[in-house]
Amino acid sequence: MTVTRGLEGVVATTSSISSIIDDTLTYVGYNIDDLAVNASFEEVIYLLWHRKLPTLSELEELNQQLAENADLPKEVLDHFSMYPIEKVHPMAALRTAVSLLGLYDEEADKMDPEANYRKAIRLQAKIPTIVTAFARIRKGLAPVSPRKDLSFAANFLYMLSGEEPKEIAVEAFNKALVLHADHELNASTFTARVCVATLSDIYSGITAAIGALKGPLHGGANEAVMKMLSEIGSIENTESYIREKLANKEKIMGFGHRVYQNGDPRAKHLRLMSEKLTKLTGEPQWYKMSTRIEEIVTGEKNLPPNVDFYSASVYHSLGIDHDLFTPIFAVSRTSGWLAHILEQYENNRLIRPRADYIGPGMQRYIPIVQRG
């Protein structure tokens, strides 16, 4: 057998959802640059799930469905009080809450396409409510109920802070959601597809995906980037800090990507938003430090930044707690996970690869009393 560690370059399935060809990312054939500049996140959800951009009436219907399903069961909200709030990471809380949601969905185990689509709506609508409710409850604040008159991006920021967000904040957050919505067979998406390929339910698939996203080599990278920026502290300390890391052969989070040779096409959009927002908040040092780090790492290692690098300073400038960065990734990527889960169900085949065994050869069982 030919072994490909990490399945790098292995084509595991066909898909009509997103593609990465010659360093260009597309959703259903639409270039990510086009969508990042022009599309709402709600349009992108519809695009990924239906393989076409919505008409006005179709978008209005989706918005209404999401708004009507955004509230959480009281049991889920009450469950947060049982978590060890001081210790638990929001990604662990999200993973647990999504699994718990399945217990309160009467259609959880119904597998017809119509029921699965209804569950997709409910999950997409409730994920941001879970993240924002937990973020507030752990601070001793009451959850803020979702509003039906706000966009997806605006509603998240409103539920997080309790205040209606400014237009520039909504623009930045919507752009981040669009950019993170899908990314072909990344680790968490592949995890979701492996899970539901057994004909397990949607809640299991999304819970599994969240577990994969939690790792620092996947969704946790943007949180690690902000931790690094905070440790550096100022533009004056940037060069010595990074060069010491490079000299010690330590990984600089937020750089390089397995599927891009010449840079992540999503990064430039968040770079621009980082520049705008850090200037607006009076903290331009985060952007300046980031650009200096980019100059050094790209110059020394030929590794351009990926989407996680500038998303860190964008989210920080929006006043978002650093450990919420990865849950926000999940809020967006749920749209892609659900698209892939629904696609997997449409033409399912159990995903069962092989392993090249490298252990001992044929051995004979020896009774325990005879073992030395």
Is 257 among the catalytic positions?
Answer: yes
Query: Tokens in use for 310?
Result: 């500038």
Q: Are 129 and 159 in contact (CB under 8 A)?
A: yes
Q: Are 129 and 72 in contact (CB under 8 A)?
A: yes
Burial of 1 (0-12, 13-18, 19+ CB in 10 A): exposed
Q: Which of 105, 180, 183, 257 is catalytic?
A: 257
Q: Which of 105, 182, 264, 308 is catalytic?
A: 308
Q: Per-residue DSSP letters for 283-322?
A: -THHHHHHHHHHHHHHHHH---B-HHHHHHHHHHHTT--G
The contacts of residue 266 (CB under 8 Å, 6+ apart) are 25, 32, 36, 179, 180, 306, 307
Is 308 among the catalytic positions?
Answer: yes
Cα–Cα distances in angstroms (integers) from residue 138 to residues 76, 93, 141, 185, 315, in the given order: 14, 11, 7, 34, 19
The contacts of residue 153 (CB under 8 Å, 6+ apart) are 40, 41, 170, 173, 174, 177
Q: Are 219 and 213 in contact (CB under 8 A)?
A: yes
The contacts of residue 185 (CB under 8 Å, 6+ apart) are 12, 13, 15, 193
Burial of 189 (0-12, 13-18, 19+ CB in 10 A): buried
DSSP state of 255: B
Active-site residues: which are they? 257, 308
